[in-house]
Amino acid sequence: MVEVLLTDHGAPGPYAGYRRLRERAPRLRTAAGLLVLSGYRDCEAALRNRALGKMDESLGFQLAAVPEDLRREALRRFRRTMLFRNPPDHTRLRRLVSSVFTPRHVEALRPAVVRRIDALLDGFAGRDVVDVVTELALPLPVGVIGDLLGVPDVDLAVAAPWVRHLVAPLEPSADIAAVQAAVRAEDQLAAYVADLLAEKRRCPGDDLLSRLATARGEDQLDDDECVGTAILLFAAGFETTTNLIGNGLTALLGAPAQAALLRERPGLAGSAVEEMLRFDAPVQTDGRTALVDTSVADIEVAAGQVVLMLLGAGNRDPAVYTDPESLHITRRQAAPLSFGGGLHFCLGAPLARLEAVELFPRLLARFPELAAAGTGTWRPGLSFRGLARLPVAPGRPA
């Protein structure tokens, strides 16, 4: 059953494999000792279990033949961030940046987000075919997080591809070539970010990188923490949202009645985005490491063992969701697992939701004839599910 973690699933997604896994081995322990959970309630409980923490879970996957020292080198600076730390370090690192992602602060960003959306949609008018990924799903969140961090627009197009290489070791199936590319990408990003942080120390502005660069006292970060946190925020600020937009639009195009309903009732955007997150999650997996000997889903887990939660599988658990294989934008059932949970709940979730909630009604209203214009190209991998290309025909604008 472990092949579901190693397969490039493409357009159909991993959902048939998840279904088999839930039915036959919902609590699967691999030969290497990895515990894989695929049921909603098991995943949710594990996400909130304080006996499970964050380390470098990719080292515990042991599903691909990549030397351990190479994996460690690929995530050297990333491992100094809140993504891989537990309290009290996690608390200190998260506190420094969390105020920027509160609902109140995110709400203040709404007018700027709407302006970016409208400007990008202006570029669709009169076009026969548009690639939604490269012309909307990627530039929107990259621009928004760039504004928050204080990254110059001219640098965003260069830095974004580095992020795509950097996150490769977080995939269970990452091979040597992908991990080597991640090492190079992290070095390139670190050099760029270090120079930018140095400039922020000399001339601080009203942005998050300036806050990181000039923090003092108990909030002060060392060099690797500062560089790693900046890289993490940039990566997290667009990777998930890009996938949410592309996956969500693909789901709507495949369910025209649901797209029509959202066009007629834009007030449903909030529940529609939650359903998109559930239906085809932008992040499919999350890992935790047992900090002490403990029990997870009634299975004994020794300290140091890794627990892998298949969030995308839990999101389609028929024990929790009615008709889970279909998109229903009015669904009012359990919250999707797509942003994780517990101490490591995704910091940028309110911002991702805001961007998607503002985007989809505007896109559908402005281009009522919007339709697929060919087959989308899916990026390889399981942990991060998203498209490399999604051609659409905008049709005549309203």
Cβ-contact 168, 179 below 8 angstroms: yes
57 pLDDT more than 70: no
**One-letter amino acid for residue 314 of the chain:** G
Asked if residue 189 belongs to a domain, the reply is yes
Q: For residue 352, count other CB atoms closer than 10 A to its CB.
A: 28
pLDDT tier for residue 61 given thresholds of 50, 70 and 90: low
- Range of 134's domain? 2-374
Asked if residue 382 belongs to a domain, the reply is no
Chain mean position to CA 391: 22
Q: Measured between alpha carbons, how far is residue 273 from residues 72, 321, 330 in Å?
A: 36, 16, 10
Q: What would the two tokens of residue 231 be?
A: 């890289």
- The DSSP bridge partners found for residue 285 are 310
Of 343, 337, 355, the residue nearest 282 (C-alpha): 337
Cis previous bond, 88, omega within 30? yes
Asked if residue 398 belongs to a domain, the reply is no
Q: What would the two tokens of residue 387 be?
A: 């498209």
pLDDT tier for residue 64 given thresholds of 50, 70 and 90: low
144 pLDDT more than 80: yes
Q: Model-level pTM?
A: 0.91
62 pLDDT more than 60: no
Cβ-contact 83, 230 below 8 angstroms: no
| Three-state DSSP class for residue 276 | helix
Asked if residue 323 belongs to a domain, the reply is yes
Asked if residue 392 belongs to a domain, the reply is no
Asked if residue 249 belongs to a domain, the reply is yes
d(CA 312, CA 283): 8
User: What is the count of structural domains for the chain?
Assistant: 1
| Three-state DSSP class for residue 52 | strand
What phi and psi, each to the nearest 5 degrees, are found at residue 305?
-80, 150
Residue with tokens 């795509």: 164
Which CATH number fits the domain that encloses residue 52?
A: 1.10.630.10
Asked if residue 190 belongs to a domain, the reply is yes
Asked if residue 300 belongs to a domain, the reply is yes
333-344 average pLDDT score: 93
Least confident of 39-48, 144-153, 240-249, 296-305: 144-153
Q: Render pLDDT for 178-226 as a digit per residue (tens, 0 to 9).
A: 888 888 988 888 898 889 889 999 999 888 888 888 887 777 788 888 8
Residue-level pLDDT at 81: 81
